[in-house]
Amino acid sequence: MFDLSTYDPNSVSNPNNNIFGLPSNEEEARLIILPVPWEVTVSYGSGTARAPEAMFKASMQVDLFDPEVPDGWKQGFYMRPVDRKILMKSDYLRKEAELYIDYIAQGQEVAANQFMCKTMKEVNEGGVYLNGWIYEQTKALLDRGKLVGILGGDHSTPLGYFKAIAEKHSDFGILQIDAHCDLREAYEGFNYSHASIMYNALNEIPEIKRIVQVGVRDYATAEWEYIQNSNYRVVTYFDKEIKNRQFEGETWKQIAEEIVSKLPEKVYISFDIDGLDRKLCPHTGTPVPGGFETAEVFYIFRKVIESGRKIIGFDLCEVGVSDSDWNANVGARMLFKLCNLLIASNS
């Protein structure tokens, strides 16, 4: 048994405790964080597979007082240990994928190379395996009445959770904070690429009624055409358009409330850290100039709750790792806010 009512939030965090220094356990914690150390298909920078462990360490520096949800932590946050088998599988397939990506980048034909054909097959099978593993883990937690957050890893990781949460909640929408659309079909030949997560979600999960993307500033022609032909199943607020509206006098309050109005009643938050300004996440996998301040993103999330909508789950992905721990520090603070908001929305 643990009793967080007697825990002193003003004391130094004990690294032998769980996330944020809390003496929590899985059985009694209300919110479970599932770390997913997977970055097989990343197409630029790597390191996100080790972000969950880095953020766990950095979380010891996060103060527990959140004026918007001052007692959220008292309901218990627990992060499961990183599954070493998943991490080892990611490391192995990542090395194979790097060779494959370099091969196709040179204009070589995959069909002409038996090894590359095998690599593509293994990576795609790895994606299927991961999706199944995450589905099983998250479904079991949801069945136990837990609130669940996914901690990546790259942005391919939450697909299995989308499927589990669709079974529990039926219709829902996704609020996606991201520099990218992630609407590519089998990017680089990988069916479950990090750049294909929202394409796969829309294609495989009919319960997703709408994805509202916010902060996008790097996308392909095919993704633009997908959005235009989606019959408003994808609504995208491009970074440039948001900034232009602000330059011409609109407030962030007006824009944020409009964004939230496009969402259905149940909302899942999918937060790719590269949606933030790069100064906040310099080692994210695919950084792009532009992006949000943390306060702007938190403001949207708060507006979701104020609107009467319900946050039903979240993922936080693409946090990089570095010697300075700055990326993990920012990531840990984003994670704490997401945990508090999920608690507040389910009180």
Separation of alpha carbons 342 and 78, rounded Å:
14
Q: How confident is the model at residue 5 (pLDDT cuts 50, 70, 90)?
A: confident
Say what percent of the chain tops pLDDT 90: 86
Decide if pLDDT at 91 tops 90.
yes
Residue 1 pLDDT greater than 60, yes or no: no
For position 29, what pLDDT does the model report? 96
Q: Which of 126, 122, 113 is nearest to 87 (CA)?
A: 126
**Residues 274-292 pLDDT 10s:** 999 999 999 998 899 999 9
Quote the CA–CA distance of 84 and 269 in Å, as a whole number. 26
- The structural domains of the chain, with segments of one domain joined by +, span 4-345
* Contacts with 102 (C-beta within 8 Å, 6 or more apart), sequence order: none
Instruction: Specify the pLDDT at position 157.
Output: 97
Whether the per-residue pLDDT at 8 is higher than 90: the answer is no
Q: How far apart are CA 260 and CA 269, in angstroms?
A: 12
Residue 39 is predicted with a pLDDT of 95
With 0-12 / 13-18 / 19 or more C-beta atoms within 10 angstroms meaning exposed / middle / buried, residue 67 is: exposed
Q: What is the pLDDT of residue 322?
A: 84
The CATH number given to 4-345 is 3.40.800.10
Per-residue pLDDT at 2: 61
175 within 8 A of 258, measured Cβ to Cβ: no
pLDDT at 105 over 80: yes
pLDDT digits (tens, 9 = 90+) for 160-219: 999 999 999 999 999 999 999 999 999 988 999 999 999 999 999 999 999 999 999 999
119 pLDDT band, cuts 50/70/90, is very high
Whole-structure pTM value: 0.96
